[in-house]
Structure 1
Amino acid sequence: MVRVAVPALLASIAAVDGLLAGYRAATGRNGRIRRRGYYVAAMRRGLAAGAAVLGALALIRGAALAAAPDPAARYADLTRAGSAMLWVIGPFAAVTLASSVGYLVLPRRPATILILLGLGPLTVVRPWVTVAAGLAAAWTARDLITAGCAILAATGVLAVEPWVHRRWYAGLA
């Protein structure tokens, strides 16, 4: 179960992060009052960029598994590193998800307070949490290939938002 759950959870968190990265990259770049379509397109772009990063990481991990003398041991090491990453990112992702759901279902005032007290500060610490998760995963890795995959995963997740911003929104500010 853990062999499948850890990669699935990490991929899900990275996909949602890509979606939100697209939203963050587009925020404040459009003066129209009705921006729903604009933000939906931005989130699609972020999700697509995040999926491209996930695909590249899957290819790299697949190559690392294929080249390993003992693929089962390498996969176990990758899963162990992913579990370490989840211990750091999991609580952050849970609070972010709860804040997002609260924003969607609560009336305007409580939702605004939730954004100011929850998602705002979480957005600021997100890069630090991501780096800490990558370092925690690299620290628990038993070989350099797994440690490199962990660092590359954290770097890839952090690269999505700046890339989406530069690709579609840099000239709009």
Structure 2
Amino acid sequence: MDDIVRQALAKWPNVPSCTGWLMLDRRGNWRMRDEAAQASGSPGTPIRHEALLGFINRNYDVDEHGQWFFQNGPQRVYVELGYTPWVVRLSANAGGALALQDQAGGAFEPAAVFVDEEGGILFADGSAQPRVAVLHDHDLDVFSEHATLTDDAMSGEFRWNDQLTLPLQAVRRGDVAGRFRFVPSPAAASA
């Protein structure tokens, strides 16, 4: 968290939080959701300002209830999640080594890989409370080059560099939030 945010929290500790105004979409884009977007259920307008994106990413965290938020100075802005709290991009360098990077620019080391009934690929890391990230759909070709799938595409294995072969596990999209203990819509949870 930025020092300026910590200072603002100390100076104004009781600023009410807000919900519904910020979304992380299925492709890892941060979106502003004005009242019209919230009322219509649309994802909102993508944020393109690099400094603002950096500020959001540095001050993105989770509370004790599994609700993800952006700490905007003294105000906590709860985030609507398009799917998971993290979205990763998968790339391979010229030598074939794979790398996963989350929407905040951090490295993501997979410990498990899942496929949902819609063909979405999810990775979980090996932390005590595993982070879960959906793979950006533009990277499905890279994924398939390193995976062996059964005919129904709901099982198989994924080869993570030459170090690890991860079994592909089936998961229902509707079960992901509960399994990984996050709230996809804090606005709905607080209503």
TM-score, normalising length from structure 1? 0.23
Q: TM-score, normalised by structure 2?
A: 0.22
**Higher helix content, 1 or 2:** 1
Q: Which has the higher strand share?
A: 2
Task: Name which structure has the greater RCO, CA cutoff 8 Å, separation 6+.
Answer: 1
